Amino acid sequence: MAMLTVRKLPDEIHRALRARAVSHGQSMEAEVRAILESAVRPQGRVKLGSLLVEMGRQAKLSDEEFALFEHVRDRTPARPVSFE
């Protein structure tokens, strides 16, 4: 797992992080990890799988219609990419 060092962190930011960690009942490291994760992984993002499931629900396909997709699906294994 990667490590991160933050240099020249102002004292007031360090104190605020410590207070925030205490209020959440966790270490400062755990608090910083949670802050970073929430910053780079917003909760409002749409995941491809969820989007496809919702599209399927909206289509309201019958079992017979859905079965048609199974017959036409290409099951050939993918070939490795060649850069030559």
Which of these, 43, 42, 17, 22, lies nearest to 32 by C-alpha position? 17
Task: Report how far apart the first and last C-alpha atoms of the chain are (Å, whole number).
Answer: 34
pTM (two decimals): 0.50
| One-character DSSP codes across 27-69 | -HHHHHHHHHHHHHS-TTPPPHHHHHHHHHHHHT--HHHHHHH
**pLDDT value at residue 39:** 86
**Tens digit of pLDDT at every position of the chain (84 positions):** 889 999 999 999 999 999 999 999 999 999 999 999 888 886 777 788 888 888 888 888 888 887 787 777 777 888 888 888
